[in-house]
Amino acid sequence: MDDRVVVAVYRHGLTEANKNHQYLGWTDSSVCKDEQERITQERNSHSFYHQYFCSDLSRCTSSLNLLNPEAIPILLKEFREINFGDWEGRTYEELKHDLQYQDWISSPFTVKPPNGESYLEFTDRVRKGWEKIITTTVKQGDSKVMLMSHGGVLRYLISTYSPIKLDFWDIHAPYCGGYELVWTKNGFWRGEKCILLREVPITAKQNG
């Protein structure tokens, strides 16, 4: 594995806003208490990494801390979820009669939420963060790193770097779980697609 680089991309734990089916981008919501307990119980069943990167929003930092209290992450705001603007904290039921929202539902990759981000603005931002991960990882000589981020970020990165074609909305984004992407060192540095995509491995049997 000396010539390989592994990047694990995780989604944060389930939040109160997630439970209520609210749009949650740059605003924050705490991780549910029962989810905090689940993550803590699963702490020893997850792999550990040489370096950690994390969205600067507290639902990500707290999820990472629950999963690995010893991790000292590099916080990058580039890995925030897409900004839903005026729709932050609102639900489908509250927005379904809004014409601009209807347009966005029909064309989410082209229509921009009011006072929020377009999909292109979101992906440009995430790419800049990804470049920072590549630069830091190569400079430090790390071979196994982890990113704790959001569902939209996970789906974008997997759909971009997967060795097989995967559509954005077809990618499962589990709470406080995710995927490992494996590259050759040269392929990682050059920004190529990874050579292997796998769900985050469980290293020990979970209790119960």
CA distances (Å), 73 to each of 32, 76, 105, in order?
22, 9, 35
Those residues with Cβ within 8 angstroms of residue 5's Cβ, 6 or more apart along the chain or in another chain: 137, 142, 143, 144, 145, 182, 183, 184, 185, 188
Which domain CATH number covers 52? 3.40.50.1240
Residue 100: pLDDT band (50, 70, 90) is very high
* 187 sits in which H/E element: helix 185-190
Q: Model pTM?
A: 0.93
CA angle 8, 63, 120 (to 5 degrees): 60
- Structural tokens at position 80: 């925030």
pLDDT tens digit sequence for 75-91:
999 999 999 999 999 99
- Residue 133's pLDDT is what? 97
Q: What's the total number of domains in the chain?
A: 1
**Residue 91 domain-assigned (yes or no):** no
- Residue at 139 is within a domain: yes
Q: Considering the domain boundaries, does residue 25 fall inside one?
A: yes
Mean pLDDT confidence for 4-24 = 96
Q: Is residue 47 part of a domain?
A: yes
Report if residue 188 sits inside a domain.
yes
pLDDT value of residue 45: 76
Residue 42 has a pLDDT of: 84
| Cα–Cα distance measured from residue 175 to residue 75, given in angstroms and rounded to the nearest whole number | 19
In a domain, 167, yes or no: yes
What's the pLDDT at 112? 97
- Tens-digit pLDDT profile for residues 120-175: 999 999 999 999 999 999 999 999 999 999 999 999 999 999 999 999 999 999 99
Closest CA to 50 of 154, 148, 146, 179: 146
Cβ(114)–Cβ(86) under 8 Å? Answer: yes
Is residue 108 over pLDDT 60?
yes
Pick the closest to residue 55 from 152, 140, 139, 141 (CA basis): 152
Residue 207, pLDDT score: 30
The range of the structural domain enclosing residue 35 comes to: 4-82+118-199
In DSSP terms, 15 is beta-bridged to 31
